[in-house]
Amino acid sequence: MRTKAPVMPWHKAIWFPRSVPRWAIILWIALLGRLSTKDRLLAWGVTADDACTLCGAGHESHDHLFFGCQYASRIWSHFLQLNGVNRHGLKLRDEVVWIAQHSGGSSMKNTIFKLSLAAVVYNIWRERNGRIFKGQNLGHDDLISRITSDLRACFISWRRVEKSDENRLLCYAWRIPVSVFDL
Q: Is the pLDDT assigned to residue 151 strictly greater than 70?
A: yes
pLDDT single digits (tens) 67-117: 899 999 999 999 999 988 888 888 988 888 888 888 777 788 899 999 999
Return the number of other C-beta atoms located less than 10 Å from residue 156's C-beta: 14
Q: For residues 54 and 128, is the Cβ–Cβ distance under 8 A?
A: yes
pTM comes to: 0.91
pLDDT of residue 148: 96
Torsional sign, CA 90, 95, 97, 103: positive
Nearest one of 38, 37, 41 to 29, comparing CA atoms: 37
Q: Which of the given ranges, 22-36, 40-54, 155-169, has the highest pLDDT on average?
A: 22-36
User: Any idea of the CA torsion for 161, 166, 168, 173, to the nearest 10 degrees?
Assistant: -120
Q: Is the pLDDT assigned to residue 118 strictly greater than 70?
A: yes
